[in-house]
């Protein structure tokens, strides 16, 4: 199963000023087309409950798997599946259903859970005016986990705006 990490970060590797700083508040709107392209190709998006709350609805042409401790307490929404299964169980179930790729879209705790399954990444890097303070959020909640984004792993690069670039990485 191909697990594509889809995230936006600033040049310091930060994904938000704090847990409440949404990417839509600082990432160029052009990145939305990139998100739509990657997630529609995959057909499945995996994210945590807090990240899902920023969307709050199903997305056309995609299934959203929302990881939560209490899946039975969540409202029924078309195209949304709540789960407290392990990453291995979720990926196996999706594979059995015929899916070959998922888009892993955060937050940091969910990215950490799926860390050992990430095969590639689509990362938007936005130049910000300054490094954010100590409350800044990174791609992974576990400080022992990070992905080294090396130039030799880049298979595609595109400029979104004068201060934002998207790189697709493939990890071997």
Question: DSSP secondary-structure letter at 17?
Answer: S
167 with 120: CB under 8 angstroms?
A: no
Cα angle 48-23-90, degrees, rounded to a multiple of 5: 20
Cα distances (Å, whole numbers) of residue 36 to 16, 30, 75, 138: 20, 11, 24, 22
Taking only the tens place, the pLDDT of each residue in 8-51 is: 999 999 999 998 888 888 999 999 999 999 999 999 999 999 99
User: Within 10 Å of residue 50's Cβ, how many Cβ atoms?
Assistant: 16
Q: Which residues of 58-95 are buried (b: 16+ CB within 10 A; e: fewer)?
A: eeeebbbbbbeeeeeeeeeeeebbbeeeebeebbeebe
pLDDT at 135: 87
Closest CA to 15 of 5, 30, 26, 4: 26
pLDDT value at position 86?
A: 98
pLDDT at site 22: 85
CATH number assigned to the domain covering 2-170: 3.40.430.10
The pLDDT-based confidence of 134 (bands split at 50, 70, 90) is: confident
Output the pTM of the full model. Answer: 0.93
pLDDT at position 33: 92
Three-state SS for 126? Answer: strand
pLDDT, tens digit (0-9, with 9 covering 90-100), for 50-81: 999 989 999 999 999 999 999 999 999 999 99
Q: Where are the domains of the chain?
A: 2-170
């Amino acid at each position: 199963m191909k697990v594509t990490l889809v995230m936006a970060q600033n040049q310091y590797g930060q994904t938000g000023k704090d847990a409440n700083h949404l990417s839509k508040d600082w990432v160029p709107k052009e990145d939305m087309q990139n998100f739509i392209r990657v997630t529609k190709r995959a057909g499945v998006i995996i994210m945590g409950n807090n990240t899902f709350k920023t969307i709050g609805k199903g997305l056309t042409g995609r299934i959203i798997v929302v990881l939560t401790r209490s899946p039975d307490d969540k409202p029924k929404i078309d195209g949304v599946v709540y789960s407290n299964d392990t990453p291995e169980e979720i990926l196996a179930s999706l594979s059995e259903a015929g899916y070959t790729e998922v888009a892993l879209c955060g937050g940091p705790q969910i990215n950490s859970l799926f860390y050992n399954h990430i095969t590639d990444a689509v990362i938007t890097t936005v130049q910000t005016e300054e490094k954010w303070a100590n409350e800044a959020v990174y791609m992974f909640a576990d400080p022992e986990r990070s992905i080294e984004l090396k130039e030799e792993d880049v298979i595609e690069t595109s400029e979104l705006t004068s201060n934002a670039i998207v790189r697709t990485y493939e990890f071997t």
